Chain A
Amino acid sequence: MSDKEKLLDFEKPILELETRIQELRSAAREGGVESLFKEISELEVKLVEAQRELTERLTAWQRTQLARHALRPGAFDLATRIFDDILELHGDRSFGDDAAINVSMANLKGREVLLLGHIKGRETNERVKHNFGMAHPEGYRKVIRLIEFAESFKKPVISLIDTPGAYPGIGAEERGQAWVIADAIEKFMKLEVPTISVVVGEGGSGGALAVGVADRVYMLENAIYSVISPEGCASILFRDAIRAPEAAAAMKITARHAESLGVIDGIIEEPPGGAHRDWDDTAKRLSERLISSLEEISKMNTNERLAKRYEKFRKIGIFHEAES
C-alpha cells in the first residue's frame, strides 16, 4: 500500500490541494506564467486553512484514527530523533523479554535518562513481533526492574506511551497482568527520580497507565487516552463494536478533554495535519517539551516532587457531596 492510500478519508481534501499546488508549481516553473503564481499562493493559503481546520475540528473518532494512523511516527521513531546513544536493555529476569515495550538508556541533550516506550511495529511481521504494542506482564516487570535501576543511579525516567492496552491473553492472565500493572503504578508513584510521561499515540487503559504515572504527563495533540478502547466500550454499552465513533465521542478521549478534566499537564501540538505529516517537526516539538519540563521538575527536591506527584493524582476525579 502506498503512503497516499494510507491516508484517511478526511485527509483527502488536503492531499488534493497539495497535489494541485505541486502541479501548478511545475507548470509555473516551465511556463513562468504570472497568473499561476497568484493561484498557487491562493491555494497555499487555502491549504494552511484546511490543515488548521482539520486539526481544530476533528471529532474524537477522527483523532483516534490519527492516533492509530499507519503513517504516524511510533514512540521510537520519535525517540531516535530526540535522544542520542540509545542502548536497549532486555528482560524481566524471570520469564522473558517483552518486545512490546522497549526500555533503553538514552541521552537527552547531554543528560542521561532511562527511556521507555511501547513499540507497535509497522509491517505485519514487525507488528506480530512487537505484539501490536500490547505488553505482557514480563514487559511491565522489565519496566519495574529498570526504573528501580535508574532510581539507584538517580537518572530521570521518560516514558512514551503508545499502546492499545495490556495484552488480554491466557499467559498474560496466568502471569498476573493485573498484579503487575498495580505494581508498576505503585512503583512509578514512589520513584524518587524526575519522571515524564507522554502519550504519543494510543493511551490504552491500564496498559498505558502502568507507565503513565509521572511528575508531568503530556499528550500529543492527536493522541487519545482512554479507559477502554472505543470498540470495547461500543460493544458493551452500545451493543456493537461498529459504534466505536460514538463511544469515542461519549468517553471524551481526546487530549483537550484530558486536559480540561485535569488528567494531563499539557498538550504538545502536532505539525499542521498531524504528526504523520512531519516526523522531524513532531520530534522537535516533543523534544523541546521534554527538555524544558525535565529542567523544571529537576529543580524540586525529591520530597517535594513526590508529594506533588501524589497530590496531582490524588485530586483527579469529579463528584458531588450532597447536603444530606
Chain B
Amino acid sequence: MNWFQRVRYRSRRIAKEEAVTGLWTKCLGCETMLPKNELKDNLFVCTVCGYHHRIPARQWIKLLLDPNTFEEHDVRMISCDPLEFVDEKPYKIRLDESRAKAQERDAVITGYGDIDGRKIAISIMNFEFMGGSMGSVVGEKIARLTENATRDRRHLVIVATSGGARMQEGILSLMQMAKTVGAISKHKDSGLLSISILTDPTTGGTTASFATATNLIIAEPGALIAFAGPRVIEQTIRQKLPQGFQRSEFLLGHGQLDMVVKRNEMRKTLIRIFKFVD
C-alpha cells in the first residue's frame, strides 16, 4: 500500500519546496524548476516533460464543464462512524481533520452540468479527502447521481482518483462496489453513455468497481491505475516491478483503456465522444 505513504511524502515534499522556493516549484516528473504561474496556466502539466500533476477536485468542474453550469447534489451528505473505528486515531477525528484540510465533506463531488451545451451528470473524486477512499457516502452519492442520470436521460462522466475502499467503514465500503456497479449497469442498459476518466492514482475497490464499469475508460498520461498497489505486489512476489508497470500507457498497451488523453484535450475528447452517441 505504498501509495498512501508515497502520497503523504509527496504532498509534504510539495509543501516544503513551496515554502523554500516561493514562486518556483519542482516538477515531480523531471525535477525541472518551473515558475508556479506557468505551471498553473498549463493546468499543472509540466511544460518540459508533460508530467500531469494532481489538481484539486473542483478544478475539474472548470476544466470540463461550460462556465457556471455546475449544480451540486447531495452537499449535505456526510460520513458517520458506523463501526466506531479507532486505529491510531478515531475515524471521527480523521473525518473532522479531512473536512478541515480538504474543505469538503467527503471524497466525492457529484452534480449536474453542461458540456458544450449537453446536459450531463458528473462525479469527481477528491484525493485530498482521506485518499479519495470510498465509504458509504462516496458509494451513495455515486449511486444516486447515476440513478438520477438514468431517470433524467443524462450521460455520466466520472473523474476518478482513489486509494480504494475506505477501511474505516469495513465491509460497508466493500459493498459500495456492488451498489455503484449495479447503478451504472442500469444506466448503460438505458442506452446512456458513461465515461470514466482515471487520474493519478486510482486503485483498489474503486478501480474494481464503478471506475471500470463504464462504457468507456480514459486515463490521464502517467497515472497509476491498479487493483493492488505496487507495494502490495512487491511484497507478495518479492521482486522489483517492471518500468512503467500500472501506468496509463502500460494499461493502454494491455488493452484496458480506450485511450490516454492529455488534460488540455479532455473536454474536447468528451465532446467528440458525445457526438458519436447522440
Note all chain B residues with C-beta closer than 8 A to A258. 171
List A282-307 residues whose CB lies under 8 Å from chain B.
none
Q: In chain A, what residue has the closest Cβ to B137?
A: A319
Contact A182 B233 (CB under 8 A): no
Please give the distance in Å from A202's CB to the nearest CB on chain B: 13
Contact residues in B for A174 (Cβ distance below 8 Å): 254
Partner of A182, one of B82, B169, B208, B245: B208
Stretch at the interface among A63-71, A83-91, A232-240: A232-240
A183 to chain B, nearest CB (A): 8
Mask of A161-176 contacts with B, CB within 8 angstroms, 1/0: 0000011111011111
Q: Is the interface on chain A under 10, 10 to 19, 20 to 34, or 35 or more residues? A: 35 or more
Residues of B within 8 A of A320 (CB): 77-80
25 pairs of residues in contact across A and B, judged by CB atoms under 8 Å? A168-B228, A170-B242, A176-B256, A179-B212, A182-B209, A185-B182, A186-B181, A205-B174, A205-B205, A209-B177, A213-B178, A227-B165, A227-B167, A227-B169, A228-B165, A232-B1, A237-B167, A250-B83, A251-B83, A253-B170, A253-B171, A263-B175, A313-B182, A316-B172, A320-B80
Judge whether B126 is part of the interface by a CB distance below 8 angstroms.
Answer: no
Flag whether B88 is at the interface (Cβ < 8 A).
yes
Residue interface bits A190-230, CB-to-B below 8 A is 1, else 0: 10000000000000011001101100000000000111100
Partner of A227, one of B79, B170, B228: B170
A314 lies within 8 A of B182 (CB): yes
A176 to B213 CA separation, bound complex (whole angstroms): 12
Contacts A172-B228, A237-B168 aside, 17 further interface pairs with beta carbons under 8 A come to A166-B208, A169-B236, A178-B225, A185-B181, A185-B213, A186-B182, A189-B178, A189-B181, A205-B174, A210-B208, A226-B170, A228-B165, A236-B1, A237-B87, A252-B83, A314-B179, A314-B182
Contact residues of B between 139 and 169, Cβ < 8 Å to A:
139-140, 143, 165-169
Tell me whether B79 and A319 are in contact (CB under 8 A). Answer: yes
A198 to chain B, nearest CB (A): 15
Quick check: B173 and A227 within 8 Å, CB to CB? Answer: yes
How many residue pairs link A and B with beta carbons under 8 A? The number is: 197
Residues in A neighbouring B77, C-beta threshold 8 A = 319-322
Instruction: Report the separation of the CA atoms of residues A183 and B209 in the bound assembly, to the nearest whole angstrom.
Output: 8
Is B4 on the interface with A (CB-CB < 8 A)? yes
Known interface pairs A168-B236, A173-B227, A189-B181; A178-B175 also in contact (CB < 8 Å): no
A172 touches B227 (CB 8 A): yes
Q: Are B136 and A317 in contact, CB atoms less than 8 angstroms apart?
A: yes
Q: A318 at the A/B interface (Cβ < 8 Å)?
A: yes
8 smallest CB-CB distances across A and B, nearest first, come from A168-B228, A317-B136, A178-B227, A178-B207, A237-B87, A318-B82, A181-B208, A177-B227
A211 to chain B, nearest CB (A): 12
Least Cβ–Cβ distance between A157 and chain B, in angstroms: 16
**Does residue B248 face the partner (Cβ distance < 8 Å to A)?**
no
Chain A contacts of B80 at CB under 8 A? 318-320
Q: Does B46 contact A (CB under 8 A)?
A: no
* Shortest distance from the beta carbon of B30 to any chain A beta carbon, whole Å: 26
Interface membership of B194, Cβ < 8 A? no
Whether, in the assembled complex, B183 has its beta carbon less than 8 Å from a beta carbon of chain A, the answer is: yes
The answer to whether A257 touches B171, judged by C-beta atoms less than 8 angstroms apart, is: yes
Decide if A128 is an interface residue (CB 8 Å cutoff).
no
Are A319's CB and B213's CB within 8 A? no
Residues of B whose CB lies within 8 Å of any CB of A are: 1, 4, 74, 76-80, 82-83, 85-88, 105, 135-137, 139-140, 143, 165-179, 181-186, 204-205, 207-213, 225-228, 232-233, 236-237, 241-242, 245-246, 254-256
| Whole-angstrom CA separation of A190 from B187 in the bound complex | 13
Question: A235–B1 contact, CB under 8 A?
Answer: yes
Rounded to whole angstroms, the CA-CA distance of A189 and B211 in the bound complex is 17
A262 CB, nearest partner CB in chain B, Å: 9
How far, in angstroms, from A169 to B60 measured CA to CA in the complex? Answer: 32
Find A319's partner among B136, B178, B179 (CB 8 Å cutoff). Answer: B136
**In the complex, what residues of A have CB within 8 A of residue B176's CB?**
316-317
Q: Is the CB of A322 within 8 A of B182?
A: no
Cβ-neighbour of B205 out of A172, A175, A206 (below 8 A): A206
Closest Cβ of chain A to B83, distance in Å, is 5
Judge if A76 is at the interface, Cβ distance under 8 Å.
no
Whether the Cβ atoms of B233 and A168 lie closer than 8 Å is: yes
The docked-state distance in angstroms from the alpha carbon of A183 to that of B213 is: 7
Known: A179-B256, A181-B227, A186-B213. A263 touches B172 (CB 8 A): yes
Q: Which residue of B has the minimal Cβ distance to A175?
A: B254
A237 touches B88 (CB 8 A): yes
Q: A173-B246, A227-B173, A252-B170 are in contact. Are A322 and B78 (CB under 8 A)?
A: yes
Docked pose: A170 CA to B237 CA in angstroms: 8
Picked from A169, A213, A252, A313, the residue with its CB within 8 Å of the CB of B171 is A252
Residue from B170, B205, B241 in contact with A170 in the complex, judged by beta carbons closer than 8 Å: B241
Which A residues are in CB contact (< 8 Å) with B82? 261, 318
| Closest partner residue, chain A, to B165 (CB atom) | A227
> Is B171 a contact partner of A182 (Cβ separation < 8 A)?
no
Look across to chain B and name the residue whose beta carbon is closest to the beta carbon of A318.
Answer: B82
Query: Quick check: B136 and A318 within 8 Å, CB to CB?
Result: yes
**B79 lies within 8 A of A261 (CB):** no
Among A227, A253, A263, A323, point to the contact of B76 (Cβ < 8 A): A323
- B53 CB to closest chain A CB (Å) equals 24
Taking CB atoms and an 8 Å cut-off, the chain A residues in 229-274 that contact chain B are 232-233, 235-239, 246-247, 250-253, 257-258, 261, 263
Instruction: Give the distance in Å from the alpha carbon of A98 to the alpha carbon of B217 in the complex.
Output: 27
Q: Is A37 an interface residue (CB 8 A)?
A: no
